[in-house]
Structure 1
């Protein structure tokens, strides 16, 4: 049942499970605002006043570095009184954040409107002491001690809003799970949900594009603790060699090597990944949470799942733009405001004004879910995610490379050579480098036709009214191989009448790790729409000669309109190197040199399940 005060839910829909919970039916919100209303509040202060650098000593003796900015009416002089607090915890060095605010700088927009802003370097990064282990248990425990420190400061009210982008957004999510009474709201931008499934081991394949560069970025910025040098030279002398040792011998480099080679405790889903998957603790969150995601973000899979799991328990909103990871952060520009949707500063202000400062902003009357719809190229609102009118529709891969609702009558086989470098120059490269290669003017980074030359392609022409897709997707493909394993890569594209393509989404799955836990998978109107693979070592099953196996590929959620005259393309290949590469010993070597066969027919009904929503729900 939905709690009193929440919009009416007239039916239920199955929510995807996690390691801790099985899939379950949840209420679907069917009432709510359709249009965004403007919100403005003028600055109450004229100056942002920085306090001297702060040191937070933790219970284990580790010292964290913090910057504090307070509202003021003149330079160098904080205004009297106490202030509600915005807390940001970063791994990217607060010293760098002064020049690149997205990495952990002071938000002057909020400070001039009466908030204190605290920015902290997490342990082992920036100017803080300790060793960094990327959301390890000790780091997560630190978040609670940081909140306690904030509440003890003379300028702080016991009312805290958590915010940040990427790593900073993830720390916000994890901090809110401690349920400290002073934490009143959270505004995470592009936060991860499941570290293993979202990015690091998508479909059992290790991400070799973003993850190594991200770890190198954190490590490199951590080797520049310039303010630690100024404040504690002795600590600086020990910090730099400790960080080099930690990176080279203890965590970063060893973790990457173990993942690439296929070391079991790293390559399979276990406690290491459970600890680093914040969505496992989603049911602990009891504060209003506004989630911002991107259709092409690194964590595209989980951002709507946060809304789904929080909806009905706490006030929550979801905004998903047409963004890669860095575009969501506004680099170079996220395109807001647009279609009535305010910019992120305004959205954040209204959220914190309501729940942290205690003003009546009518934020609950804003739309629950706002998504950019590719193809329509506008923001659309809904009362829930998944869309309340979603139905799962299965289309079969058939003769003459068509997609059809009719089960194929005859058996057919399509073959393609297994090679590990597909997708090297595709939109996947732009997505999985966080958007960095999107600045390079190469056609193959935008149009997937080039990366699909060797792919097996199937198309569906849009009906006369068009086709509206909104939600997760699944491909059920019957494959065999002359090798012992194969990576099954699936792309979805919008195809225009002139043949150019526009990327929609993709999925990747190792055949030997095909085992699906149906108790945690999402079903809609009787069709599995989002598989939950277990990725357990004991369930790996190598392919045998002549064996035909069904491989269910999770295709990450999106929202798109296939307009009349265009078509939807499903392409199947044997790798997507930008998204993930097979671990060398466990999967890459057994895959090399093989030929994959895709089987189509009444007994091997290769198909795709799409999240279809009535076109009439679109506002045009």
Structure 2
């Protein structure tokens, strides 16, 4: 472990700083071997059968679109084919997940509207017990011998929600499942997105619930033989919104059960079932994705369990990751081709001895260099812990105050990230200087050599407040020689949820690199105004380099709008109190980084 110092940014103070310690830069993926692999050309047309009814074991009817390989005249091709299943909550008639690329190359795709959405009956409850059971039943329906177009072999494919439900379906071991290709899945619903650090996500969650609700209230396809069923489906969707979406938002805002972690979120978190999965899985993630935290954790768990798995992390927000643009230089041409290669290998059994040499276990786009890097594992032997002290430890008392300004976070990359790429303020996404001026920043001297970081980060801070609760928002940044500030990643932590479960925290070289907080009612700890508390802040994982001549900066705020907002209980407790960051010998504040060797 090496120790450096990030000094307090205030020109009138003559504080001591040390330069960044050397860190070996990784070799970029050459991609020459991958270029030798060529995708199969399209050999079929596409035949579509809309709104096929699938009756679940409880009598609820789901509807699916079935896309089959077709002959030149448009009629379905003879024979049986492997099936790719996608389960869509956004109304397949409005936002189809596609899949024709695979159909044209000899796969059948089955895309359902999940229960309570689109044209499917019932009420939606977002990955609840019944929806998870639907996944198993639909998968077994698609691989049944009764389907004249299915050869009994199955793959799972799709992005976001359609990536998350792959894990719940696969964990139930449906008949014929051979491979998965989840694009930007969540791992831990509560910590990844619902309440990062213990405050409710006000940027993405309302937007997402509105999308599901709105698309579910579009009148479904009319059943000409049973028109009353169409009306009943629409009424069920409306009832679901009133019975699930609206109460969930209200309960979270009012500090009810939905504001805390517990069985509800555990049931809906793929990390709770990932150990049951044993089929080859290719995970795609984004550096600026809303599931930035959880997707690499899923890969890591599967790799440690011995599952054949790979991880691709691109320079994407949530919306951008679904298209996978900008893969030049990665050794992967595009996501459809990579998925075809994955499915051909693991479903069709097509020999591909170069796959593992062409595509590393981990491939990520490095922030700061724009280079694609590779690793053998996630947070493994290729990184070591390196610790930096925030500020000067020579100060015997006091600290640096952070005023509670509800606009903190607005002019930053955080706004774009936590609206899934839907919103951004011009000039703020790529330069954090305006936002940093609203908080307190610490930074190193210009780096004398490149500092490469890969993995989660721990900002272990000593904090006091004038209130009885509050949020610590941490940004880890790259400062260019011209003063431009690139926000690499961030982390958040409410003071009352500062308790850490050591057995669930991740360590590197004996240092806590990823603290795990319980976020339950029982784990809440009181906050006394003026008292100093140790607050480990989990900073979401990244792959980045601080180039020679650049500076590493850490900035602390007490808000991250519009991403996170306090609930009514947090407001009543004084969540808008003034924070103080302490950095004395008695109460130090440090940053623990996973530095590439």
TM-score normalised by L of structure 2:
0.91
CA drift of 1:33 comes to 8.7
CA distance in structure 2 between the partners assigned to 1:357 and 1:455 by the alignment: 55
Match of 2:413 in 1: 427
CA distance in structure 1 between the partners assigned to 2:465 and 2:386 by the alignment: 28
CA offsets 1:275-327 (integer angstroms, 9 cap, x no match): 11111111000100000000010000011111110115211000000100001
CA distance in structure 1 between the partners assigned to 2:224 and 2:558 by the alignment: 53
CA offsets 1:531-560 (integer angstroms, 9 cap, x no match): 000112112122113311011100000011
2:280/2:308 contact within 8 Å kept:
yes
- Return the match for 1:208 from 202, 218, 241: 202
Match of 2:325 in 1: 334
Distance 1:605 1:551, change over 3 A: same
- Return the match for 1:128 from 102, 120, 123: 120
CA drift of 1:409 comes to 6.2
- Return the match for 1:37 from 34, 54, 58: 34
CA distance in structure 2 between the partners assigned to 1:94 and 1:173 by the alignment: 20
CA distance in structure 1 between the partners assigned to 2:488 and 2:227 by the alignment: 51
CA drift of 1:114 comes to 0.5
Distance 1:516 1:230, change over 3 A: farther
Which aligned pairs between 1:141-540 and structure 2 lie closer than 5 A?
A: 141-152=133-144, 153-229=147-223, 232-248=226-242, 250-263=243-256, 265-312=257-304, 313-330=306-323, 334-362=325-353, 363-365=355-357, 366-399=359-392, 408=394, 410-438=396-424, 442-540=426-524
CA offsets 1:104-142 (integer angstroms, 9 cap, x no match): 23x111111110111111100000001000111110011
Match of 2:22 in 1: none
Return 5+ residue gaps in structure 2 as ranges: 1-25
CA distance in structure 2 between the partners assigned to 1:337 and 1:146 by the alignment: 37
CA distance in structure 2 between the partners assigned to 1:455 and 1:33 by the alignment: 38
CA distance in structure 2 between the partners assigned to 1:497 and 1:311 by the alignment: 39
2:198/2:493 contact within 8 Å kept:
yes
CA distance in structure 1 between the partners assigned to 2:391 and 2:379 by the alignment: 28
Match of 1:91 in 2: 89
CA drift of 1:341 comes to 2.5
CA drift of 1:410 comes to 3.7
Which aligned pairs between 1:595-610 and structure 2 lie closer than 5 A?
A: 595-610=578-593
1:373/1:380 contact within 8 Å kept:
yes
More relative contact order, 1 or 2 (CA 8 Å, 6+ apart): 2
Which piece of structure 1 moves more, 148-157 or 316-325? 148-157
Distance 1:232 1:213, change over 3 A: farther
| Partner SS, residue 454 of structure 2 | strand
Which piece of structure 1 moves more, 601-610 or 35-44? 35-44
CA distance in structure 2 between the partners assigned to 1:533 and 1:517 by the alignment: 6
Match of 2:595 in 1: 612
| Partner SS, residue 164 of structure 2 | helix
CA offsets 1:198-249 (integer angstroms, 9 cap, x no match): 010111110011111111111111112432455742111122222222212x
1:65 pairs with 2:45 = no
| Partner SS, residue 471 of structure 1 | strand
TM-score normalised by L of structure 1:
0.88
| Partner SS, residue 573 of structure 2 | helix
Match of 2:5 in 1: none
Matched residue count: 565
| Partner SS, residue 423 of structure 2 | helix
| Partner SS, residue 577 of structure 1 | coil
Which piece of structure 1 moves more, 39-48 or 210-219? 39-48
Match of 1:54 in 2: 52
Match of 1:564 in 2: 548
1:415/1:596 contact within 8 Å kept:
yes
CA distance in structure 2 between the partners assigned to 1:446 and 1:229 by the alignment: 50
CA distance in structure 2 between the partners assigned to 1:419 and 1:345 by the alignment: 44
CA distance in structure 1 between the partners assigned to 2:321 and 2:126 by the alignment: 22
1:423/1:577 contact within 8 Å kept:
yes
Provide the aligned C-alpha RMSD in A.
1.9
